[in-house]
């Protein structure tokens, strides 16, 4: 994606995952916003987003952060919310192992308290090492954690699978994670 699309995607992420109120945007209980409202309100607030640009961001994003409704009138983020929304996710049986990418500077804290959701609704887990590595690289020198997801599930932890293939859970205790070399 070019720089303008990346910048617009980050702004759309801010609106749909964290702070819709900065432009007066309303999300419904499931996190959906009307695309026409986003276009109108962003333009009133000094940022130009068009329906065509929003559709391009959604279609070309390798992270697939957003989904447009079947009728093409609404959009929402697939996961990563720091605001409360109900994504209507159903519990799923996870694979044996999942991964989490982070920066080495966070490793000591994680090894003490596990993975916590902090200001998000869920801890995000990747189905493969490469995705986890990319996430970890965004925050500094990366480290990949292996999560014994199936063992967690058998122990009573609930997992969800977002529309873009990211696994979600509320907490990963230390006994279920291992830092990979």
Decide the pairing of beta strands 74-77 and 33-34: antiparallel
pLDDT of residue 181: 84
Q: What is the dihedral of CA 48, 53, 58, 62, to 10 degrees?
A: -100
pLDDT of residue 44: 92
pLDDT of residue 84: 87
pLDDT of residue 163: 86
pLDDT of residue 116: 95
Q: What is the dihedral of CA 33, 61, 93, 91, to 10 degrees?
A: 0
C-alpha to C-alpha distance for 126 and 147, rounded to whole angstroms = 10
Count the neighbouring beta carbons within 10 Å of the beta carbon of residue 161.
Answer: 18
Residues 6+ positions from 166 with CB-CB distance below 8 Å: 78, 79, 124, 125, 126, 127
pLDDT of residue 1: 56
C-alpha to C-alpha distance for 96 and 86, rounded to whole angstroms = 26
Do the two domains 3-77 and 98-179 of this chain adopt the same fold? no
* Domain assignments of the chain as residue spans, ordered by start: 3-77, 98-179
C-alpha to C-alpha distance for 161 and 1, rounded to whole angstroms = 26
C-alpha to C-alpha distance for 179 and 181, rounded to whole angstroms = 7
pLDDT of residue 81: 86
3-77 CATH pick, 3.30.70.1150, 2.40.50.100, 1.10.10.970, 3.40.980.10:
1.10.10.970
C-alpha to C-alpha distance for 144 and 115, rounded to whole angstroms = 12
98-179 CATH pick, 3.20.170.30, 3.30.465.10, 3.40.47.40, 3.90.79.10:
3.20.170.30
What are the 10-residue block averages of pLDDT along the chain, 181 residues in total?
83 95 95 97 91 93 88 93 88 97 95 92 95 90 97 97 93 96 84
pLDDT of residue 19: 95
């Amino acid at each position: 994606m070019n720089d303008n699309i990346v910048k617009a995607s980050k702004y759309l992420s801010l609106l749909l995952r964290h702070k819709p109120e900065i432009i007066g945007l309303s999300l419904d209980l499931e996190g959906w916003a009307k695309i026409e409202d986003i276009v109108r309100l962003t333009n009133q607030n000094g940022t130009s987003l068009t329906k065509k640009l929003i559709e391009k961001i959604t279609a070309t994003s390798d992270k697939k952060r957003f989904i447009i409704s079947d009728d093409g009138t609404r959009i929402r983020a697939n996961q990563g919310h720091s605001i409360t929304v109900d994504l209507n996710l159903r519990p799923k049986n996870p694979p044996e192992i999942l991964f989490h990418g982070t920066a080495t500077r966070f490793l000591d804290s994680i090894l003490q308290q596990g993975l916590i959701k902090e200001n998000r609704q869920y801890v995000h887990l990747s189905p493969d090492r490469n995705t986890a590595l990319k996430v970890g690289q965004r925050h500094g020198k990366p480290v990949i954690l292996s999560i014994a997801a199936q063992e967690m599930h058998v122990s009573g932890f609930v997992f969800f699978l977002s529309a873009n293939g990211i696994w979600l859970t509320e907490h990963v205790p230390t006994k279920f994670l291992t830092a990979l070399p």
